Amino acid sequence: MHPRQPSVSLVIPAYNEEAVIGQCVAAALRQSVPAREIIVVDNRSTDRTAEIVRRLQREHPQAPLRLARQDAEQGLVPTRNAGLGLATGDVLGRIDADSVLEPDWVEQVAGAFLDPEVMGATGPVHYYDMPLRRWGLKADDRLRQLVLNLACRQHQFLFGSNMALRRTAWEAISGEVCRDEADQMHEDIDISLHLAEHHLKIRYVPTMVAGMSARRLEDSPGDYRRYVARFGRTYRAHRIERKALRIPELLFLSIYYPARTLRYLHGRTDAGRRGISPFPATTPPSSQALQASEASQAARRAVRERRRPTRP
């Protein structure tokens, strides 16, 4: 007798994400195995984020797409917690608003959690707005395997753009995770470390693939350094002093300028082909533009799927 396939909920915290929320939700809807529910949690957005989600609800009336609000306080952690608290699946997927899931993501996650010992899962990402995406996926996979080895396999870290938790595991740690009111930590690493404190197993799943934006590279050098410094602050909050775990922090710092330059050149080349500015104005995109963008991305993903016989 085969074990029952666990149901998978998807939680997407969002704050002023009108530029990306449409493609994120569209990818979540186009799954080989449907999610039990897709919950977008809007945290005081002042742009068209909620409007875009409501439009997708109208376009897909049979889809289990839910728009929730978290207005009590500003911040990713309380918004994430609210969404995870609303979710009813056996497994709680947690992605960012700029994530674009591969079409078999829910299927891969459900398969990973067939093992009753798995309490959390994470996988690699590719940066869909950077060149050399297949190479980037392989590099990301190698980096995450390296981090696991550096931690002597004592710690496995979840990645907020591409992660899932067993609901019972979240219930075990939800009252303990750091509130991080000062917004100084990596909330996904914090969850990982709380799971480790309870001896709850996290599995790295190479076939659990998501796309994400490299928009972090648009930060100023100072802001980027402060973002990367969250690694160390999160470790210190948990009294972890393993020096080897600083290597990913140094790697992220070392790639900033080369990757930022590559992103700029890629943006200029792409903009030149389309006859627009490489750095578009902040005017909100129209509904028609979002629909065209979603259709174009779906077509590109379909072409990539036809061309590659196996997933790297």
What is the arithmetic mean of pLDDT over 64-68?
Answer: 98
Please report the pLDDT score of residue 286 as a whole number: 41
Please report the pLDDT score of residue 150 as a whole number: 62
Please report the pLDDT score of residue 308 as a whole number: 47
Please report the pLDDT score of residue 301 as a whole number: 52
Please report the pLDDT score of residue 180 as a whole number: 93
Please report the pLDDT score of residue 49 as a whole number: 98
DSSP state of 307: H
Please say if the pLDDT value at position 284 is more than 50. Answer: no
Q: Say which residue, 275 or 252, is predicted with more confidence.
A: 252
The kind and range of the H/E element at 190 are helix 187-197
Task: Give the β-pairing of 37-42 and 65-69.
Answer: parallel
* pTM as predicted: 0.83
Give the residue from 19, 61, 17 showing the smallest Cα distance to 40: 17
Please report the pLDDT score of residue 59 as a whole number: 97
DSSP state of 5: P
What is the arithmetic mean of pLDDT over 138-167?
Answer: 78
Please report the pLDDT score of residue 141 as a whole number: 77
Q: Which two tokens stand for residue 76?
A: 């990713």
CA distances 221 to 98, 216, 226, 256, 266, Å, are: 21, 10, 9, 8, 19
Count CB neighbours of 284 within 10 A: 15
What is the arithmetic mean of pLDDT over 123-139?
Answer: 83
Please say if the pLDDT value at position 85 is more than 70. Answer: yes
CA distance 255 to 154: 26
What is the arithmetic mean of pLDDT over 79-85?
Answer: 97
CB contact at 8 A, 110 and 5: yes
Please say if the pLDDT value at position 147 is more than 80. Answer: no
CA distance 312 to 304: 12
DSSP state of 141: H
Give the pLDDT confidence of 4-57 residue by residue, as tens digits. 899 999 999 999 999 999 999 999 999 999 999 999 999 999 999 999 999 999
In the chain, % of residues over pLDDT 70: 82
Q: Say which residue, 227 or 292, is predicted with more confidence.
A: 227
* Per-chain mean pLDDT for the chain: 85
DSSP state of 3: P
Give the residue from 226, 231, 272 showing the smallest Cα distance to 248: 231
